[in-house]
Amino acid sequence: MYIKDFAGWNTLKQGIDKDAAVPTFKEREIWWCSIGVNVGHEMDGKNRFYNRPVLVVRKFNTRIFWGLPLTTQIKDNPFYFQINFKGHEAVARKRCVMLSHLRLYDSKRMHDKMGWLPTEEFRAVKTALKALL
């Protein structure tokens, strides 16, 4: 049985909120983001930072953006969109963008830029997202 560590996440979240550092980011970039421990079937982050890769879909200002989390679990359904993402790795890995998990993030959650999607692949993600909405 999986037990969620809400207390550990709350402690880390308080530190993230106090941090004054705000990274510079752009649309199409993929960042490690501390997305936390969430309720029910909402996607959780992993490891001690409660993080996972997040694609910046729409930047509203220097602080907030719409983001889509990524997973290495490949699923063939309208709520997941498969991409090939290279990042810092030598070869591209198949991943899925979880379209149904679109949410607003603060840039304080970002801590390491992994890379970016090519323009055409980013357009395809946005088209799939619009079709879902």
Domains in the chain: ranges and CATH: 6-132 (2.30.30.110)
Kindly state the helix (H) or strand (E) to which residue 11 belongs, with its residue range. Answer: helix 6-18
Instruction: Let me know: does 36 contact 52? Beta carbons within 8 Å.
Output: no
Per-residue pLDDT tens for 9-48? 788 888 888 887 889 999 999 999 998 877 776 677 788 8
Per-residue pLDDT tens for 45-89? 788 888 999 999 999 999 999 999 999 899 999 999 999 887 776
Instruction: Let me know: does 84 contact 53? Beta carbons within 8 Å.
Output: no
